[in-house]
Amino acid sequence: MASGNDLKMESVVPTEEELKGFDLNNPEIVQLIHHAQQSDAADRLLTIREALSKYKRAVFWAMFLSTSLIMEGYDLVIITSFYGQTQFQDRFGQVDASTGKKYISAPWQSGLSNSSLVGQLAGLIVNAYAQDRFGCRATMMAFMAWMAVMIFIPVFAPSLPVLAWGEAMCGVSWGVFQTLSTTYASEVVPTVLRPYVTAYVCMCWGAGILLSSGVVRAVAGLSGNIAWRLPFALQWVWPIPLFIGAYLAPESPWNAVRRDKVEEARKALKRLRTPSPESDFEVEATLAYIQHTTAIEKAETASASFIECFQGTNLRRTEINCVVWAAQILCGNAILGYSVVFLEAAGFSELQAFDLNISLSACYIVGGIICWFMFPHVGRATIYMGGLALMFCCLIAIGGLGFTSGKGAEMAIGILLVFSTLINMITVGPACYPIVAETPSGRLRYKTIVIGRFVYNLTGIFNNSVTPRMIAATSWNWGAKAGLFYAGTNLLCNIWCWFRLPETKDRTFGEIDLLFDNHVPARKFKYTKVNQFAHQSEYREKADIISDAEHIEVEEGPCPLVTE
């Protein structure tokens, strides 16, 4: 391990043989690596406006494919909102003996919500292999087609068991889209734009929630089965245009290189940047350092499997991914997902609950935009932990109001829910995505994110099992007091973050690798100096004398890591 706060490339030193044919004795390769270092340094100096101008095509495609997450966010609110919808209760509910009214029992609420999560678990596992083997585009197209067929099941479901099965089958596609969109977005843009396109993934999820909140409110006045079938049927709007978009989109050049599709990567790089007189040179230089980085990663994680994610420094990266994902729910977001039922339990009428739910959902868009303005100035870990602390205060207040009654308490609970949702979507929600995209190693990125999202969905299953029982009057009947339970889980998550969550702001993938390899504590990530190209001057010297040298012998010692 390097001593002090100045890290060099001593912990990642693959031999020439380990680089598997990436010939560092070849003068052209040495020169390209040198140019790659220059290209990387130039991209790091870009302002946000310059990067947007240079990589506007990459930003477009990253944001377009991320739109697939709208469908998951849409269904999340659709299914939970139906638990408080009269028409859905009349069709599928059971009669309450004491009141004579129909309701959806807490066990069935848990079952319906968890069915899609079970399907997502299967989709996550499938995507871990499909994306590595077939690429991002082919995987996206295949599961968009799957989604278009599976929507038929919930639309025409005759019973709750069939509806649950349909939710599970649709969930397979959502599980694929969850990780595919994040990894694709993080790999096609330069470092300065990475937090924006990955946070946009969260905004798409929120856009789906906002859209579904509006749809549920709009159909509240309809009678009969159309009130719940129409919202399900509207999901057919997405698969066809997104299938066409995935067909036209360039492949992730990193993914293509990992699959040994070098020419495909070259074509993708050309399509991802704005044409200029230097485009051909920049493409070749970028391709060289992608190949170089991938070669080093292959040497470190040859035949990478899920087991590798739990070994060595990768165990720490996997831990970060898992807890950061799980905290998305445990921070108190669990209550927000059941906002309609929660508000009704707090005393709001059905229509009042739907109206306020639209305001809650709008916070996902407004908060995401506000977070974009924070990213250049505040670190991801700071945003994440600050959001947890503010939400903790809101949850304590909501829980305390659960011990009172009256219109004033109901109004205060509604205001606090809106405020808590806005805090979540300014901080914890969008900050999660760049963290989980940046902390895994390159070769294990897909698998690590899949494991983290797997834990997220397991946490969601726990949430869907206990939260309805906490809120439902026919079960535990905690009402607003449920806020105190999630205040406790929120506090535990924030304590973990203080000791274990590193700051990755303005770090390249290579620098992050070095910090993890040298076991730098989370609180020192931000301040530790990293010499990513320890022997850059040697490579520059070698490149400068290429024309005069018949053969170049690479000296033994640390090898510079060239990263995105």
- Is residue 39 scored above 70 in pLDDT? no
pLDDT reported for residue 344 = 67
CA distance 180 to 158: 33
Task: Write 39-43 long-range contacts (CB < 8 A, 24+).
Answer: 39/282, 39/285, 39/286, 39/289, 40/289, 40/508, 40/562, 40/563, 40/564, 43/190, 43/191, 43/192
| Max CA distance (Å), the chain | 94
Which tokens go with 422? 């806005």
Q: Alpha-carbon distance 336 to 425, whole Å? A: 11
217/426: higher pLDDT: 426
User: What digits encode the pLDDT tens for the residues 293-305?
Assistant: 777 666 655 556 7
Q: Which two tokens stand for residue 389?
A: 């602390």
441 to 404, 447, 508, 513: CA distances (angstroms): 50, 10, 11, 7
The two structure tokens encoding residue 501: 């969550």
Provide mean pLDDT across the span 267-292: 81
Tokens 């445990």 appear where?
Answer: 330
The mean pLDDT value for 550-560 works out to 35
Nearest to 414 by CA among 473, 478, 351, 359: 359
Q: Which residues pair with 146 in a beta bridge?
A: none
Which has more confidence, 288 or 370?
A: 370
pLDDT score for 551? 34
- The answer to whether the beta carbons of residues 106 and 154 sit under 8 Å apart is no
Q: Is the pTM higher than 0.85?
A: no
Mean pLDDT of all residues in 386-394 = 94
Whether 522 contacts 499, CB under 8 Å:
yes
What is the residue extent of each domain of the chain?
46-249+308-501
Max avg pLDDT among 17-26, 132-141, 365-374, 459-468: 132-141
Contacts of residue 195, defined as CB under 8 A and 6 or more positions apart, other chains included, come to 375, 380, 434, 505
Mean pLDDT on 467-471? 79
pLDDT over 50 (residue 539): no
How many CA atoms does the CB half-sphere of 35 hold within 13 Å?
17
Nearest residue to 554 (alpha-carbon basis) of 34, 68, 177: 34
- The stretches of 439-535 forming alpha helices (DSSP H) are 445-471, 482-500, 509-517
> Looking at per-residue confidence, does 278 or 514 come out higher?
514
Q: Give me the mean pLDDT over the 275-291 stretch.
A: 78
Nearest Cα to Cα of residue 223 among 85, 81, 350: 85
Task: Report how far residue 86's alpha carbon sits from residue 480's, in angstroms, rounded to the nearest whole number.
Answer: 22
Taking the CA atoms of the chain, what radius of gyration do you get in angstroms?
A: 25
Identify whether the C-beta of residue 64 lies closer than 8 Å to the C-beta of residue 323: no
Helix%, strand%, coil% for the chain, nearest 5? 75, 0, 25
- In order of 182, 206, 320, 545, the CA distances from 548 in angstroms are 46, 59, 49, 5
Report how far residue 486's alpha carbon sits from residue 392's, in angstroms, rounded to the nearest whole number: 8
Pick 122 or 545 by higher pLDDT. 122
The answer to whether residues 334 and 467 touch, using CB atoms and an 8 Å cutoff, is yes
Cα–Cα distance for residue pair 186/184, rounded to 1 Å:
6
Q: What pLDDT, in 10s, does the model give residues 55-91?
A: 889 999 998 988 888 887 787 768 877 887 888 888 8
* Superfamily (CATH) of domain 46-249+308-501: MFS general substrate transporter like domains (1.20.1250.20)
b/e for 398-436, b at 16 or more Cβ within 10 A? bbbbbeeeeeebbebbbebbbbbbbbbbbbbbbbbbbbb
Q: Which helix (H) or strand (E) segment is 103 a member of? A: strand 102-103
Most confident of 306-310, 316-320, 371-375: 316-320
What is the dihedral sign for C-alpha 277, 280, 282, 285? Answer: negative
Q: What is the pLDDT of residue 19?
A: 41
* N residues, the chain: 564
Alpha carbon distance 225, 162 (integer Å): 15
Higher-scoring residue by pLDDT: 304, 468: 468
Alpha-carbon gap, residue 198 to 183, rounded angstroms: 8
- Please indicate whether residue 151 or residue 71 has the higher confidence score (pLDDT): 151
pLDDT tens per residue across span 19-29: 444 455 556 55
Report the 10 Å Cβ neighbour count for 3.
7
Q: How far is CA 187 from the centre of its chain?
A: 13
* For residues 193-222, average pLDDT: 82
